[in-house]
Amino acid sequence: MGRVRYLDVYYEDWGVQVEIDGGQHLEIRTYWADMARQNALWTAGDRLLRFPAWLIRDRPHEAIAQVRQALLAAGWQPASTTPS
């Protein structure tokens, strides 16, 4: 806490943020700083999804599905794929 933080992904229009956690998150102080930040985001009204880096590398479709669900829940409407 008290240092500059960067977002991995932020869908500002829908208040959805994505964090990708690497190995540094195993250190307890780093883990707590991330939890405190997550709590602050939630109490402010944003949604925060967190994924371990290995999931992004090995099973990205799972993360994509969850991000899509969060965006839909927040009001996002995907563009139609039906030709006009």
Residue 42, pLDDT above cutoff 60: yes
Dihedral sign for Cα atoms in the order 40, 43, 45, 50: positive
84 vs 70: CA distance, rounded Å:
28
- Looking at the domain assignment, is residue 79 inside a domain? no
4 vs 25: CA distance, rounded Å:
16
Question: By residue range, what is the domain housing residue 30?
Answer: 9-73
* Total number of domains in the chain: 1
- In this prediction the pTM is 0.79
Residue 40, pLDDT above cutoff 50: yes
Q: Is 30 helix (H, G, I), strand (E, B) or coil?
A: helix
Residues whose CB falls within 8 Å of the CB of residue 47, separated by 6 or more in sequence, listed in order: 14, 15, 16, 17, 70, 73, 74
- Looking at the domain assignment, is residue 61 inside a domain? yes
Q: Is 9 helix (H, G, I), strand (E, B) or coil?
A: strand
